[in-house]
Amino acid sequence: MKEQLRFLNALQEIDSAIAKKIELIESIPKKISSIEHRLKDALLLYDKEKQKYEALEKKKKDKERSLDDVSERIKKLKVRTSEIKNNKEYQAHLKEIASVQKEQSALEDEILLSMESSDAAMKDLKRVENKVHAEKETLEEYKKKLAGEIVVAEKELAELRLRRAESVKHIDNDAYELYLKMLESKGGLAVVEARDEICLGCNMSIPPQLFVELKKNEKIMQCPQCGRILFWRGDGDAGES
């Protein structure tokens, strides 16, 4: 029966390793998703900054068109100056020109401010664009890295499954069925060590007499609390179990 316990313990180690490899492989899409989420955030910010820049550029161009219109009005007013015959009309005309020139000056100031805002928005847009490129590169590099990890993990998983199939051949049907039952009901941990009259699976006490029998490693015994298969790793059995 020592042989059966040794094979069951080895099978547990293999199954635990298989579970870790499967968990690793299944976790990779989530890892990729987290990086993709960062890229999506950067793209959303880029769109926001782009819309801001385009709105400022439109505002600036609208003011530039208004300035062109005002400048054209000033030209026409100046042309009319020579046509004015009396002083009263002339004074009124000069006031009109001065008013339009004041409007022109105000527009020029507004255009300068618009240019400064537009330039600042362009810098922000460029910064976010660089962030988008960086996130894309990070994502591609991460995908390549994870793809390599998948290849390695799947290769190791295939080897573990071959080892598992070979190990199962040495286990009696009844013992294997019990193992599978415990494996399923106990979260993947069917075989555990008993130490100092404690089950290391549930951390509950093992009755002294049961522990004495268990230390013989002569038959398959279960924890009276959690039902897991127990083994004792004594000094003389350390290499066997």
Look at 46 and 241; give whichever has higher pLDDT. Answer: 46
Query: 148: closest CA among 37, 30, 28, 39?
Result: 28
Quick one: which H or E segment has residue 199? strand 198-199
Confidence of residue 1 (pLDDT cuts 50, 70, 90): low
Confidence of residue 241 (pLDDT cuts 50, 70, 90): very low
Q: Which of 86-90, 198-202, 223-227 is predicted least confidently?
A: 86-90
Mean pLDDT of the chain: 92
Mean pLDDT (whole number) for 20-36: 92
38 within 8 A of 32, measured Cβ to Cβ: no
pLDDT for residue 236 is more than 60: no
- The CA-based dihedral angle spanning residues 165, 167, 173, 179, taken in that order and rounded to the nearest 10 degrees: -100
Write down the CATH number for the domain with range 14-168: 1.10.287.1490
Sign of torsion over alpha carbons 66, 71, 72, 77: positive
Q: How far apart are CA 47 and CA 207, in angstroms?
A: 69
What are the pLDDT digits (tens) for 32-73?
998 899 999 999 999 999 999 999 999 999 999 999 999 999
How many percent of the chain have pLDDT more than 70? Answer: 97
Q: How far apart are CA 169 and CA 30, in angstroms?
A: 37
Confidence of residue 239 (pLDDT cuts 50, 70, 90): very low
pLDDT of residue 42: 94
pTM: 0.65
- Domain range summary for the chain, segments of one domain joined by +: 14-168, 173-231
